[in-house]
């Protein structure tokens, strides 16, 4: 499914409190070992399909890397170089082809609203939906709600890649290989203003030694935003007073504008292979969301193929544990339930705790096969937070070279790699291990009960919609769409032809959505969505008026002779036809522009409703009975007997009869009289005692007893 824009959050209060502490991500258990299906697929070859950054941003999954194409859930291949986004719930592409970068995207960080995000990488230019190419040296702020590149946040002057971004407590930090940024001579780490991208010159650290490139391999922060935790291939880091040398990790005090290097240090215990420089094999660093643990993954040479879990204390420390992977590890992520590792391994060391060997998921011989013992974990593994023991989780991925990104999100785990399948499922280069499919869903959410709509007579005026729903797993969000005169409310508050839904996070099964709407007669449709992505059986539709009320459609019917004439005022928004319903049953369609209909054979107490259906929304108008001509007497039959005893029958026309009348004498059929003939018939003297004229139309008999 392709949509130009998918609104991910409410258009109400889109700001956040920069002073509030972030909440650590709590999984509580391993993610499911089967990835989510029915999502877009990053495709390509081993050289051009690598996912290098992945993140959940509001209700979207956003990826960056060296890839150039994405296959939608409908099987359509789109040109999507370096960047793509889609709905986490429906798989709809967000901003397809409308947000573009001219080189690799290496870092993604959720922004100040649920649709904004910062993007870092090797690019120099970014293009939004307006088609304007804007210079953005290695760093940009974009918005998925309108596919725009922020015009105020204009990062310039970074002379090398940005590989890490952290936004915490209203402050924005970037790391990479640059030696200058924003016109300021500053290396490796910088703080930039989250609104203007202006560099904070007070935030300055000195780096020396280490690798010339790929120095920063991971960054994070504690939830309070007082400590920045950094891991990389640097030799030493100094604030001008304190220097920490030969440590792959650092904990930096950022309570003031000028950073302070704490006494934290940890030194890699295993030698590099051959004449490699110390730290050259460090591939990835992950900081737990509570800021207490640091995971490090090493690879590219067998002697250093270890992963480590290091406490983020502010003193020299040893690692909590180390685990030998027997082959390269390229990415790592630390959750509250496990340490996830991805790489080129296929059989790793077993642990100090009980280890389930499991099975190899790919049919090839790998480095680990040559070692005795061990446990099969095919290019992806979960290790115990306590001692590094491999956990019983082995989905397996079919990477060519290995996985380069693992990201813990509130919904699960994103795993980026240069392959096509995870746990046998065709995922392309990104697998999403989603808690939403790991829970048995017994039922869909209930229909939404709209508790009320608060409106205003001001034009435009504030509107507040409230409602609730129930579900066995719990309602995760509510989808709303607003319609006026056949047009839909857009994310920027305008009206347009594109259908747009607003996703509102649920609070204990309830929601409240505040927005501002121009005057008119509106309809809002609402449905609930549970944690497994199932929706209410149908939309709940509520009508309300804000500002100056538009006239409501009216309908009436009046008797004219034996007929009923139904008349109504136009129903706004309908552009096809109106249905006429009599006693609850459809009887006719009347084209728009004709606002009257005649019922030739009405029942005595018939009730009429005019129905209009437009864009899935139904409007019904009940018709008022205005009376009219007196009700006609029912048809009858008269018997005239002549002096000679002969008998003549004369009867009234029966409405609806279009064929003939049947003459019955003493209950026996005698003759038919056509409707075009005179309604009379003569019998011989003494021919019968009872006479009846029968009309049969549509399977219904009308009998006129002659007297």
Query: DSSP for 301-364?
Result: SGGG-EEEEEE--SSB---SEEEE-SS-EEEEEE-SS-EEEEES-SEE---SS-------SSSS
The CA distances from residue 87 to 73, 91, 208, in Å, are 11, 5, 43
Q: Which of 97-111, 348-362, 657-671 has the highest mean pLDDT?
A: 97-111
Give the pLDDT confidence score for residue 440 in this predicted structure. Answer: 54
580 or 364, greater pLDDT: 580
Mean pLDDT, residues 653-660:
84
**460 preceded by a cis bond (ω within 30 of 0):** yes
Q: Is 508 exposed, middle or buried (0-12, 13-18, 19+ CB in 10 A)?
A: exposed
Structure tokens at 481: 């769409």
Which CATH number does 637-706 carry? 2.60.40.10
How many whole angstroms separate alpha carbon 434 and alpha carbon 412? Answer: 5
Residue 452 scores a pLDDT above 80: yes
CA distance 15 to 90: 25
Does position 439 have pLDDT exceeding 70, yes or no? Answer: no
Quote the pLDDT of residue 296. Answer: 97
26 Cβ contact partners less than 8 Å away, ≥ 6 residues apart: 336
pLDDT, the chain, mean: 89
Tell me which of 3.20.20.210, 1.10.287.130, 3.50.30.20, 2.60.40.10 is the CATH number of domain 555-628: 2.60.40.10
Radius of gyration of the chain (CA): 37
CATH no. for 449-546? 2.60.40.10
Residue 674 parent element (H or E): strand 668-674
Whether 664 shows a pLDDT value over 70: the answer reads yes
Q: With H, G, I as helix, E, B as strand and everything else as coil, classify residue 421.
A: strand
- pLDDT score of 410 more than 80: yes
Name the region of 698 (left: φ>0; alpha: ψ -120 to 50; beta: rest). Answer: left
Contact 25, 336 (CB under 8 A): yes
In three-state secondary structure terms, 415 is: strand
Q: For the residues 96-117, what does the mean pLDDT come to? A: 96
pLDDT at residue 46 tops 70: no
Model pTM?
0.64
Q: Cα separation of 445 and 539, whole Å? A: 11
Q: Is residue 48 a contact partner of residue 552, using CB atoms and an 8 Å limit?
A: no
Let me know how many helices (H) and strands (E) the chain has, helices first.
Answer: 0, 61
What mean pLDDT is predicted for residues 98-115?
96
73, pLDDT greater than 70 = yes
pLDDT > 90: percent of the chain: 66
Which of 98-102, 514-518, 551-555, 587-591 is predicted least confidently? Answer: 551-555
Please state, in angstroms and rounded to a whole number, the distance separating the CA atoms of residues 270 and 267.
Answer: 9
Cα separation, 245 vs 169, in Å, equals 28
Q: How confident is the model at residue 6 (pLDDT cuts 50, 70, 90)?
A: very low
Report, as an integer, the average pLDDT of 676-683: 89
pLDDT of 624 strictly over 60: yes
- What would the mean pLDDT of 523-535 be, rounded to a whole number? 88
How far is 593 from 468, CA to CA, in rounded Å? Answer: 39
Strand ranges of the sheet holding 133-135, from the earlier edge strand across to the other edge: 100-101, 125-127, 133-135
CA angle in degrees (0–180, nearest 5) for 180-183-187: 20
The model's pLDDT over 188-242, given as tens digits with 9 standing for 90+, comes to 999 999 999 999 999 999 998 887 778 899 999 999 999 999 999 988 999 999 9
Structure confidence at residue 54 (pLDDT): 98
What is the helix (H) or strand (E) element at residue 467, kind and residue range?
strand 461-468
pLDDT digits (tens, 9 = 90+) for 571-583: 877 778 899 999 9
Distance CA 285, CA 273 (A): 20
Q: How would you label 619-639 residue by residue, b for 16+ Cβ within 10 Å and e otherwise?
A: bebebeeeeeeeeeeebebee
Grouping H, G, I as helix, E, B as strand and the rest as coil, residue 370 is: helix
d(CA 263, CA 243): 8
Helix (H, G, I), strand (E, B) or coil at 533: coil
* pLDDT score at 319: 97
What pLDDT score does 271 carry? 79
Same CATH topology for 449-546 and 637-706: the answer is yes
pLDDT: is 283 or 548 the higher one? 283
Domains of the chain by residue range: 320-428, 449-546, 555-628, 637-706
Q: How far apart are the first and last CA of the chain?
A: 74
Model confidence band, residue 22 (pLDDT cutoffs 50, 70, 90): low
What does the DSSP assignment read for 598-640?
EESS--TT--EEEEEEETTEEEEEEPEEEEESPPPPPP-EEEE
Q: Once rounded to an integer, what is the mean pLDDT over residues 324-336?
A: 95
Asked whether the predicted pLDDT for residue 136 surpasses 60, the reply is yes
- CA-based angle 295:296:300, to the nearest 5? 150
| Structure-model confidence comparison of residues 62 and 156, the more confident one | 62
Per-residue pLDDT at 1: 34
pLDDT value of position 273: 76
Please report, to the nearest 10 degrees, the dihedral formed by the alpha carbons of residues 233, 239, 244, 248 taken in order.
-20
Buried b / exposed e over 293-330, threshold 16 CB at 10 Å, is bbbbbbbbbeebbbbbbbbbeeeebebbbbbbbbbbbb
Residues 683 and 666: their CA atoms lie apart, in Å, by 12
What number is the average pLDDT over the span 439-457? 84
Buried b (16+ CB within 10 A) or exposed e, 445-479: bbbbebeebebeeeeeeebebebbbebebebbbbb
| The pLDDT of residue 300 is above 80 | no
Q: How does DSSP classify residue 24?
A: P
Residue 561, number of CB atoms within 10 A of its CB: 11
For residues 453 and 467, the answer to whether their CB atoms sit within 8 Å is no
């Amino acid at each position: 499914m392709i949509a130009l824009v998918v609104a991910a959050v409410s258009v109400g209060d889109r700001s956040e409190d920069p002073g509030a502490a972030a909440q650590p991500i709590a999984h509580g258990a391993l993610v499911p070992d089967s990835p989510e299906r029915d999502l877009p697929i990053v495709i390509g070859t081993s050289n051009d399909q690598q996912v290098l950054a992945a993140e959940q941003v509001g209700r979207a999954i956003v990826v960056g890397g060296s890839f150039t194409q994405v296959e939608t859930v409908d099987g359509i291949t789109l040109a999507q170089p370096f960047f793509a986004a889609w709905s986490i719930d429906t798989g709809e592409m967000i901003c397809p082809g409308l947000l573009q970068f001219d080189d690799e995207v290496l870092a993604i960080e959720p922004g100040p609203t649920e649709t904004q995000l910062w993007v870092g990488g090797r690019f120099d230019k970014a293009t939004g939906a307006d088609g304007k190419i804007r210079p953005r040296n290695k760093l940009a702020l974009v918005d998925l709600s309108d596919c725009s590149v922020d015009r105020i946040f204009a990062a310039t002057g970074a002379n090398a890649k940005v590989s890490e971004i952290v936004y915490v407590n209203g402050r924005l930090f970037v790391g990479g290989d640059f030696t200058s940024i924003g016109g300021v001579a500053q290396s490796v780490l910088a703080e930039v203003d989250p609104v203007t991208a202006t560099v904070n010159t007070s935030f300055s650290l000195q780096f020396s030694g280490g690798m010339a490139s790929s120095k920063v391999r991971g960054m994070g922060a504690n939830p309070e935003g007082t400590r920045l935790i950094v891991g990389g291939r640097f030799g030493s880091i100094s604030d001008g007073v304190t220097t920490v040398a030969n440590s792959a990790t650092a904990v930096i005090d950022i309570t003031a504008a000028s950073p302070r290097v704490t006494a934290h240090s940890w030194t890699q215990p295993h030698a590099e292979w051959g004449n490699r420089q110390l730290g050259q094999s460090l591939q990835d660093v992950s900081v737990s969301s509570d800021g207490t643990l640091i995971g490090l993954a090493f690879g590219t040479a067998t002697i250093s193929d270890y992963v480590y879990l290091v406490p983020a204390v502010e003193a020299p420390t040893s690692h909590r544990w180390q685990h030998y992977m027997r082959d390269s590890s390229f990415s790592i992520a630390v959750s509250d339930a496990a340490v996830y590792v991805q790489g080129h391994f296929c059989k790793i060391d077993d642990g100090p705790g009980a280890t389930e060997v499991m099975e190899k998921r790919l049919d090839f011989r790998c480095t680990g096969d040559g070692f005795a013992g061990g446990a099969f974990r095919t290019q992806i593994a979960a290790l115990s937070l306590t001692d590094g023991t491999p956990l019983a989780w082995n989905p397996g991925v079919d990477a060519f070279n290995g996985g380069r990104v693992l990201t813990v999100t509130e919904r699960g785990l994103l795993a980026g790699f240069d392959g096509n399948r995870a746990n046998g499922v065709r995922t392309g280069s990104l697998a999403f291990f989603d808690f939403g499919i790991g829970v048995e869903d017994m039922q869909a959410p209930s229909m939404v009960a709209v508790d009320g709509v608060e409106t205003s007579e001001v034009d435009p005026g504030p509107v507040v919609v409230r409602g609730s729903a129930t579900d066995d797993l719990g309602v995760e969000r509510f989808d709303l769409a607003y319609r006026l005169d056949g047009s839909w409310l857009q994310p920027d508050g305008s009206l347009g032809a594109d259908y747009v839904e607003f996703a509102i996070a649920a609070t204990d099964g309830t929601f409240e959505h505040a927005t501002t709407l121009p005057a008119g007669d509106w309809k809002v449709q609402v449905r609930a969505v549970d944690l497994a992505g199932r929706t209410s059986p149908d939309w709940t539709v509520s009508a309300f008026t804000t500002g100056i009320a538009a006239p409501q459609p009216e309908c009436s019917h009046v008797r004219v002779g034996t007929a009923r004439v139904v008349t109504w005022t136009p129903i706004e928004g309908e552009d096809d036809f109106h249905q006429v319903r009599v006693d609850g049953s459809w009887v006719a369609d009347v084209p728009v522009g004709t606002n009257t209909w005649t019922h030739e054979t009405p029942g005595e107490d018939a009730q009429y409703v005019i129905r209009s259906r437009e864009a899935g929304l139904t409007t019904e108008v009940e018709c008022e009975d205005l009376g009219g001509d007196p009700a006609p007497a029912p048809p009858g039959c008269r018997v005239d007997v002549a002096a000679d005893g002969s008998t003549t029958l004369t009867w009234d026309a029966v409405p609806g009869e279009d064929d003939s009348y049947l003459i019955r004498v003493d209950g026996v059929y005698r003759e038919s009289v056509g409707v075009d003939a005179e309604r009379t018939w003569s019998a011989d003297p003494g021919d019968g005692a009872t006479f009846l004229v029968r009309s049969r139309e549509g399977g219904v008999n009308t009998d006129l007893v002659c007297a």
